[in-house]
Amino acid sequence: MIFNVSASTLYRHGPYGHNGAMARQYDNTDVFRGASFTSATFAAAEFRDCDMRQIKIVDSVLVDVNVSGDVRNFLVNDVDVTPFVEAELNRRHPERVQLQEMRTADDYRAMWDTIERLWLETVARAERLPESARHERVDGEWSFVETLRHLLFATDAWASRTILDEPMPFHRLGLTQTGYPPADAAALGMDLDARPSYVAVMEARAGRMALVRGIVDDLTENELARMCTRAPAPGYPEEPRSVGSCLFVVMIEECEHRRYMVRDLAALEAR
């Protein structure tokens, strides 16, 4: 399907709402797959949790654009900027390099030491803010409390369920990724609409951090290579995963979400 759409044509012709403006919300759709937009205006548009592979943008104006996610082979004016971005992220967050260089059980233990230290610093920083700020979203991203809730889910899925083979380890306050079906999350006992206090989430978080600490403290080279057969959660691919690969997911979730929180805490502190 090809769409050659000008901004004026979009306004004059459908599909649009009663006020003549095009619909503002598109969820769980592939209607734009393979589409072509010419002279269309996407100013102030937001794309979240979208598959944007093989997009080509030509002769367009990109000013004040913010892109985050799994970014690879990203050409800007025929220059792949990915290596520059990765190098700068690694400079700002050296734990990313430590994470990528993990090989042995001792490496995993050292990495968890780093994660615990970094989160202690970040939590202390968050606790200098008012309680309301810890629940506040910056630019529509998860709040500090929501981020900790998501890390509950990540630990339950990749540590308790896969590594420890527990069928239903999910905490009620866990928060799944945006694209996970809410009905499936509810079936696992999670209350996505809960509005827990910071203290309640931190209590649950402490238990999950201790659980991973126990796993890495007992980790051996043989255990690192052991294959886990239970999927992290219903809907995930049913395939064998090593203990090492599952721990890697837990740790990259910890590192990347902390990076987001450092960014957002700076914005909250600036206020």
Instruction: Count Cβ neighbours within 10 Å for each residue of 124-148 and write b for 16 or more, e otherwise.
Output: ebbeeeeeebbebebeeebbbbbbb
Kindly state whether residue 160 falls inside one of the protein's structural domains. Answer: yes
Domain check: are 153 and 223 in the same one?
Answer: yes
Q: Is residue 153 domain-shared with residue 39, that is, in the same domain?
A: no
Residue 107: φ, ψ to 5°? -65, -40
83, 99 contact by CB (below 8 A): no
Domains: count for the chain? 2
pLDDT the model gives residue 214: 98
Domain region containing 19? 1-65
Q: Which amino acid is at 168?
A: M
Q: Are residues 111 and 33 in the same domain?
A: no
Q: Tell me the pTM.
A: 0.81
For residue 207, being part of any structural domain is answered with: yes
73 lies in some domain: no
Same domain for 140 and 19, yes or no, is no
- For residue 89, tell me if it sits in a domain: no
Q: How far does the chain reach from its first CA to its final CA, in angstroms? A: 46
Of the three residues 16, 39, 65, the one that is the final residue of a domain is 65
Half-sphere exposure of 139 (CA within 13 A, CB side): 16
Do you find a cis peptide bond into 15, omega within 30 degrees of 0?
yes
Q: Looking at the structure, do residues 126 and 230 belong to the same domain, yes or no?
A: yes
**Domain assignment of residue 27, yes or no:** yes
- Whether residues 121 and 201 fall in one domain: yes
Which residue among 37, 65, 93 closes a domain?
65
Q: Do 118 and 232 fall within a single domain?
A: yes
Rounded to an integer, what distance in angstroms lies between the CA atom of residue 221 and that of residue 103? 9
Residues of the chain predicted below pLDDT 50? 1-21
**CATH number of the domain enclosing 211:** 1.20.120.450
pLDDT reported for residue 3: 28
Q: Is residue 180 part of a domain?
A: yes
Q: Which helix (H) or strand (E) holds 84?
A: helix 82-92
Q: Which of 65, 93, 114 is the last residue of a domain?
A: 65
Question: What per-residue confidence (pLDDT) applies to 268?
Answer: 97
Beta bridge partners of 8: none
Q: 189 in a domain, yes or no?
A: yes
